[in-house]
Amino acid sequence: MIDFHIQRFLDYLSVERGLSANTLASYGRDLAQFASFLQKRDVTQPGKIDEDCMIAFLGILRSKDFARTSAARKVSAVRGFIKYLCAERVIDKSPLGAFEPEKPARRLPKCLDLEELSCILDAPDIRDDLGLRDKAMLETMYASGLRVSELVGLKSDDVNLKMGFLRCVGKGNKERIVPIGEIAGEYIAAYLDRVRGKLTKSERSEYLFLSKLGMPMSRVMFWKIIKKYTAQAGIVKSITPHMLRHSFAIHLVERGADLRSVQEMLGHASIATTEIYTHVTRDHLREIYKETHPRA
């Protein structure tokens, strides 16, 4: 019975809230863990979930030394599920009580400096067809600050090179318009002119960036592309695709872009999410001050 209501809750999150497949999968795993915990306590009906259950589950999360972000997500999933049961009148009284969410530790985003970024962006051999495709993808991501899922999900019709912008669908199926620079536009145009037609072969595809087999690119494929060119550039530290998005935001803020504009381009629902980049730039300025001021 608990599993039935968990599936109903996940369906609600998908249809009504428009959460991504990845978020739904994470919630599904977290709630499966909660259901297993309840089963061990012989709690098989939603109405039997009480405050003692909630406190005991929270104790398990703390005792197993989960990362704070992981524990916070699990707590959020369970709280959302309980509130859903109350809203649907499956249970009469909320057992949440003192079941407070874990506050995740603030982690500053990691980014690339301009030298590292240039080395990676310049690594693809654009004389090679796939190298030109990779160059276009890397330039597009840094130029627009897209998420990886948004980059690989771009359709050919989403890009307007003449006007210098692209359209993408982000979290919650929210659409936004993002400008792209001349450099990214030039490489997209070259890719469309020289490469994409070869990759589509006899099949027609609406997606902009395609694999060598003519299929839409995946996030894993792009992650491998990043790893490949990071190694070619001689950069030892671990670099993820999301660091290009962080670099896009931080470099804009460092050069005076206002947070509201950056928020809109990144597709953040809250300005508070975007404000994290101001902390990074302040830390950067503090380091420069210490290195250069004679009395620092």
**167: helix, strand or coil:** strand
In a domain, 105, yes or no: no
103 part of a folded domain:
no
More confident residue, 63 or 148: 148
Final residue in a domain of this structure, among 87, 103, 126:
87
Picking from 87, 105, 137, the residue at the C-terminal end of a domain is: 87
| CATH code at position 162 | 1.10.443.10
Number of Cβ within a 10 Å radius of residue 150: 21
Pairwise CA distance, residues 150 & 171, whole Å: 9
C-alpha closest to that of 43 among 3, 86, 12: 3
Of 103, 147, 141, 107, nearest to 268 by C-alpha is 147
Residue 200 lies in a domain: yes
Q: Is residue 107 part of a domain?
A: no
Q: Are residues 36 and 164 in the same domain?
A: no
Query: Domain check: are 160 and 206 in the same one?
Result: yes
**What's the domain count of the chain?**
2
**What pLDDT is attached to residue 105?**
53
DSSP for residue 293: -
Average pLDDT (143-150) is 92
Residue 98, pLDDT score:
54
231 is a domain residue: yes
Q: What percent of the chain has pLDDT over 90?
A: 38
Q: How confident is the model at residue 285 (pLDDT cuts 50, 70, 90)?
A: low
Classify each residue of 256-269 as buried b or exposed e, where b means 16 or more C-beta atoms within 10 Å of its C-beta: eeebeebbebbbbe
Beta bridge partners of residue 168, listed in sequence order = 176
Residue 250 included in any domain: yes
CA 277 to CA 283: how far, in whole Å? 10
- Two structure tokens written together for 136: 């276009």
Residues 137 and 257 both lie in one domain: yes
DSSP symbol at 104 = P
In whole angstroms, give the CA distance from residue 49 to residue 95: 7
**Claim to verify: residue 137 and residue 209 sit in the same structural domain:** yes
Same domain, 46 and 119: no
Instruction: Evaluate if pTM is beyond 0.75.
Output: no
CATH number of domain containing 40: 1.10.150.130
Averaged pLDDT, 17-43: 87
Res 101: pLDDT: 54
My answer on whether 196 and 232 are in the same domain is yes
Q: Give 51-78 pLDDT, tens digit per residue.
A: 888 888 888 877 666 666 777 788 888 8
Residues 144 and 19 in one domain: no
Asked if 138 and 270 sit in the same domain, the reply is yes
pLDDT digits (tens, 9 = 90+) for 166-176: 999 887 778 89
Mean pLDDT lowest for which of 12-16, 217-221, 250-254? 12-16
Give the H/E segment covering residue 144: helix 129-144
Catalytic residue positions, numbered: 147, 171, 242, 245, 268, 277
The reply to whether 96 falls in a domain is no
Q: Which of 49-58, 144-153, 240-249 has the lowest mean pLDDT?
A: 49-58
The pLDDT of residue 241 is: 86
Same domain, 136 and 282: yes
131 and 51 housed in the same domain: no
Domain span holding position 230 = 114-291
Same domain membership, residue 242 and residue 122: yes
Domain boundary (87, 122, 141) is at 87
Say if residue 134's pLDDT is above 90: yes
In a domain, 108, yes or no: no
> Do 53 and 121 fall into the same domain?
no
22-31 pLDDT, tens per residue? 888 989 999 9
At 100 the pLDDT is 56
* Mean of pLDDT values over 122-151: 95
